[in-house]
Amino acid sequence: MKPWLYTIYLKTRLDWRSSEIWITHFLVPIIFFFVVGAVFTAVMPETEETLIPTMVIFTATMGALIGTSGTLLPYTETPTRKSLKAAGIPFSSILLSTFVAGLINLLIVTFFILFVAPLAFNAAHPQSYAVFFGGYFLFLAPTLLVGILLPLLAKDASRLTIYSQAVFLPSMLLSGIMFPFEMLPGALSAIGYILPATHAMMIMTEDAFPIVNLLVLLGFIPALLLLIGWRMHRLLLDEG
Any contact of residue 240 with another protein (CB under 8 A)?
A: yes
CB-wise, 186 or 240, nearer to another protein? 240
- Name which of residues 3 to 62 contact another protein (CB under 8 A): 3, 6-7, 10, 13-14, 17-18
Q: Shortest gap between Cβ of 115 and another protein (angstroms)?
A: 30
Q: How far is CA 89 from the centre of its chain?
A: 26
Note whether 93 and 3 are within 8 A (CB). yes
CA dihedral defined by 59, 144, 168, 175, rounded to 10 degrees? -70
CB-wise, 83 or 122, nearer to another protein? 83
Q: How far apart are CA 95 and CA 80, in angstroms?
A: 14
Total number of residues binding another protein (CB under 8 A)?
26
Q: Shortest gap between Cβ of 145 and another protein (angstroms)?
A: 21
Any contact of residue 82 with another protein (CB under 8 A)?
A: yes
CA count, 13 A, side-chain hemisphere, 98: 29
Which of 43, 88, 158, 185 lies at the binding interface for another protein (CB under 8 A)? 88
Q: Shortest gap between Cβ of 227 and another protein (angstroms)?
A: 22
Any contact of residue 87 with another protein (CB under 8 A)?
A: yes
- The conformational region for residue 122 under phi > 0 = left, psi -120 to 50 = alpha, else beta, is left
Which of 35, 78, 122, 208 lies at the binding interface for another protein (CB under 8 A)? 78
Per CB under 8 A, the segment of 87-95, 132-140, 196-204, 207-215 that binds another protein is: 87-95
The residue among 176, 230, 159, 152 whose CA lies nearest residue 61 is 176
Q: Shortest gap between Cβ of 67 and another protein (angstroms)?
A: 14
Alpha helices in the chain (DSSP H): 2-16, 19-21, 28-43, 51-62, 69-76, 78-86, 91-121, 129-153, 157-173, 186-193, 196-204, 211-237
CB-wise, 3 or 229, nearer to another protein? 3
Q: Shortest gap between Cβ of 21 and another protein (angstroms)?
A: 10
b/e map 95-110, b = 16+ CB within 10 Å = bbbbbbbbbebbeebb
Q: How far apart are CA 72 and CA 169, in angstroms?
A: 20
CB-wise, 87 or 119, nearer to another protein? 87
CB-wise, 80 or 122, nearer to another protein? 80
The residues binding another protein (CB under 8 A) are 2-3, 6-7, 10, 13-14, 17-18, 74-75, 77-80, 82-83, 85-89, 237-240
